[in-house]
Structure 1
Amino acid sequence: MDSTGAFIDQTERFSAHNYAPLPVVISSGEGAWVTDVEGRRYLDCLAAYSALNFGHRHPAMVAAAHAQLDRLTLTSRAFGNDRLGEFCQRLAELAGKQMVLPMNTGAEAVESGIKVARAWGYRVKGVPDGRARIIVASGNFHGRTTTIVGFSSDPDARNGFGPFASGFDVVPYGDADALAAAITDETVAVLIEPIQGEAGVILPPDGYLARVRRITAEHDVLFIADEIQSGLGRTGATFECENAGVVPDLYLLGKALGAGIVPVSAVVGDAEVLGVLRPGEHGSTFGGNPLAAAVGIAVIGLLSTGEFQARARELGAHLARRLQGLLGHGVAQVRVRGLWAGVDVDPGLATGRRVCELLAGRGILAKETHGSTIRLAPPLVITEEELDLAADQFAAVLADLRGATRR
């Protein structure tokens, strides 16, 4: 088996059809580049939806994983291990918080945050048992478990998977007045993405996050920031909330926390909130395992220097300039924060899927989201020259499409 088609056929035959990937089969990667099974190289401008913020096989990450693989990989939480405490301490300090609840996937972090918020509401705020409500935003993407898709506005994620859990109130994203109006005595938390990634890298209005913070504080409601995609350097700060000058009660983290090596996620907060959990009420066999903790410690070490946050700011400004140059040339709108961009292609030219197929043909990997929106999230190790290559190829694809339309 040595051809792209053969690998795709095998996957289609034996795996569930819950994805429709581009017809590229990757076999190796380093830094911002990957190579497919036939030896073609591609510049990775998706970075596994920000899971690979530090690129493919970053030497520090690989070294940390190798060293831990030679010692211990799993104990379960029935026993302690010698990496978990350091991981939790360093992550708490990075976030300016006191405690960490380690999990595995981003969806697990969100589910855990929901449980923590409800427990806090009952045990601290005094909401009657079974009555807790959480406010979420339309257009959200917090994962695909049944609880989460129950408050999704994406029909592909939601339709056909009910019945859903109650206790969630949906308000328009970016509308702080609607959020304030939705709060009742039974509201325990507001759960939002500081930037909505899956929706197309949607940036909130200026001052929105600050108003969310003020409103939640005034009403004794937790502010839960889902920074699974926006956090850990992607937007030019350790957390996007920093860019807005706010500190939530709980951070939900994942993706880049495992450096693309192992799944690592976490809920990070202060003891007055996370401390509501008691032994036996929540857990995970793999959450906080020593291999994950070792990789997470290495990730925190890279973020602690500020180098990658600075790279995201500086290179993001360059990416924004290049993408803005495409406005009126096949691009209708561009949204950029750090090294994260949503690009709305003129729907009259092509679907987002078609644009990404053409980009792949030119050696650039990106992924569409709804309609004709392309999202770009290259590894933070990418260079300015590599960004220029991606922008040039994007421009060439648009030019070809515009030429075909005129013909």
Structure 2
Amino acid sequence: MTSDRTPLDSGAHIALTERYAAHNYHPLPVVLAHGEGAWVTDVEGRRYLDCLAGYSALNFGHGHPRLRARAHAQLDRLTLTSRAFLNDRLGPFAQELAALTGHEVVLPMNTGAEAVETAIKVARKWGYRVKGVPEDTASIVVMEGNFHGRTTTIVSFSDDKVARDEYGPYTPGFRTVRYGDVDALRAAVDDTTVAVLLEPIQGEGGVVIPPEGYLRAVREVCDTASALMVADEVQSGLARTGRTFACEHEDVRPDVYVLGKALGGGLYPVSAITADHAVLDVVTPGSHGSTFGGNPMGAAIGHEVCLMLAEGEFQSRATRLGAVLEEGLRPFVGRGLDGLRVRGLWAGLDVSPGGPSGRELCERLLARGVLAKDTHGSTIRLAPPLVVTEDAVQLLVEAVGASLG
């Protein structure tokens, strides 16, 4: 048996994890033990630049002082009541998140997948109660290449075979169209359509940015069809792209925001959907809920996240440092990279045929002290915490260049 007092090296930790933890991930061979800001340290004391940032859950870096202080203070007071009672942290959090999104009401949950499920349930209930769609006929239009989570309902409309296969029977009620194709979207919408659910930028897909004007077109289609525009900003939201929400790049306000990851500051799972009363008032006591959703600890941390975002510093840093990142990476297109997409401090890199696979490139970056994650074979994503320095961004660019060679 081992304990926290038993010193183990990386090999021993890897063997222990392989022996006792289910193999639902294929991690890089690095065992992390400490994090601060944009940097993490492994059990042997080697330091790495974290360019995954917990899939944007760590937008504010590891152990941000304001978030740690807020969590420590709340830990000494009250952590959980359940929503059977009121607590003194939920109201201030909901008020600040509503102000940040421009919506009237907040429904808190825990994980991003829970928030997406909540949005689906709310959209269907709204369709029956408000739009007047016949019971059990509601349809939701979704996008090819989407990634909204791992629940059975969500993987039912995924086209990722690894995430979807052998989890059937699948949940009906979804129509899939090509991401970025306005004509396909219009053709898929009919009188039963209660919502269009999309990521403003497809993160898991490889930081896929839709054509300019697409989000405005989605908004117009939804308005014409009396359907809800539901924006999953679990990864793209909360300053990652240089705006508080990626929808703001086209001045679009969705009917429903789906939020998570960075809402918990990398300390605690916090998610939510936000909307106006006309949408969220269809949820009544007992019709939806979560034991931990809106708990005092999560609400306190989420409140502090909202206060930090209201100051605008992180959005500005993402814009400025994202420009530095793009300027540094652009020369590699045609010299190891087939494609490059950057929005704020978020980049998708497509490795040229004949070069390393995405996994191999991440392994080469690991050897140079940079942590990144591959997706879809030949693509890697870069998303360092927004507290990263310009020097560290330059280090990242140099590591990518050296690893492509």
User: 1:80 & 1:156 partners in 2: Cα distance?
Assistant: 41
**Aligned AA (1:318):** V
Matches within 5 A, 1:206-245: 206-245=212-251
- Please say if 1:110 is aligned against 2:146: no
Q: How many residues matched?
A: 399
User: 2:134 & 2:334 partners in 1: Cα distance?
Assistant: 55
Q: What's 1:15 paired with? A: 21
Matches within 5 A, 1:1-400: 1-399=7-405
Whether the aligned pair in 2 keeps the contact of 1:344 and 1:372 (CA below 8 Å) is: yes
Whether the aligned pair in 2 keeps the contact of 1:343 and 1:375 (CA below 8 Å) is: yes
**Aligned AA (2:138):** A
**Aligned AA (2:178):** P
User: 1:127 & 1:262 partners in 2: Cα distance?
Assistant: 38
3-state SS, counterpart of residue 166 of structure 2: coil
Q: Deviations over 1:373-402 (max 9, x none)?
A: 010000000011100001101111112xxx
User: 2:135 & 2:308 partners in 1: Cα distance?
Assistant: 43
3-state SS, counterpart of residue 361 of structure 2: helix
User: 2:209 & 2:78 partners in 1: Cα distance?
Assistant: 42
User: 1:244 & 1:46 partners in 2: Cα distance?
Assistant: 26
User: 2:239 & 2:93 partners in 1: Cα distance?
Assistant: 18
Q: Deviations over 1:91-141 (max 9, x none)?
A: 001100000000000000000000000000000000011110000000000
User: 2:84 & 2:15 partners in 1: Cα distance?
Assistant: 42
Q: What's 2:4 paired with? A: none
Sequence identity (%)? 63
Deviation (angstroms), 1:347: 3.0
When normalised by structure 2's length, the TM-score is 0.98
3-state SS, counterpart of residue 88 of structure 2: coil
User: 2:75 & 2:360 partners in 1: Cα distance?
Assistant: 41
Deviation (angstroms), 1:186: 0.5
Q: What's 1:403 paired with? A: none
3-state SS, counterpart of residue 22 of structure 1: coil
Structure 2 gaps, min length 5:
1-6
**Aligned AA (2:126):** W
User: 2:404 & 2:191 partners in 1: Cα distance?
Assistant: 52
Q: How big is the alpha-carbon RMSD for the aligned residues of Structure 1 and Structure 2?
A: 0.6
Q: Deviations over 1:309-343 (max 9, x none)?
A: 01101110111111102112211110000000000
**Aligned AA (1:189):** A
User: 1:24 & 1:146 partners in 2: Cα distance?
Assistant: 31
User: 1:358 & 1:261 partners in 2: Cα distance?
Assistant: 29
Whether the aligned pair in 2 keeps the contact of 1:61 and 1:299 (CA below 8 Å) is: yes
User: 1:200 & 1:33 partners in 2: Cα distance?
Assistant: 23
Whether the aligned pair in 2 keeps the contact of 1:2 and 1:38 (CA below 8 Å) is: no
Q: Which runs of 4+ in 1 moved over 4 A?
A: none
User: 2:21 & 2:330 partners in 1: Cα distance?
Assistant: 40
3-state SS, counterpart of residue 268 of structure 1: strand
User: 1:242 & 1:21 partners in 2: Cα distance?
Assistant: 34
Whether the aligned pair in 2 keeps the contact of 1:94 and 1:304 (CA below 8 Å) is: yes
Whether the aligned pair in 2 keeps the contact of 1:103 and 1:288 (CA below 8 Å) is: yes
Structure 1 gaps, min length 5:
400-407
User: 2:38 & 2:378 partners in 1: Cα distance?
Assistant: 24
User: 2:366 & 2:8 partners in 1: Cα distance?
Assistant: 19
**Aligned AA (1:291):** M
Whether the aligned pair in 2 keeps the contact of 1:138 and 1:171 (CA below 8 Å) is: yes
**Aligned AA (1:368):** D
When normalised by structure 1's length, the TM-score is 0.97
User: 1:371 & 1:15 partners in 2: Cα distance?
Assistant: 24
3-state SS, counterpart of residue 141 of structure 1: coil
**Aligned AA (1:79):** F
Stretch moving more, 184-193 or 346-355: 346-355
3-state SS, counterpart of residue 213 of structure 1: helix
Deviation (angstroms), 1:194: 0.2
**Aligned AA (1:229):** Q
Q: What's 2:3 paired with? A: none
Q: Deviations over 1:241-276 (max 9, x none)?
A: 011110000000000000110000000010000111
3-state SS, counterpart of residue 340 of structure 2: strand
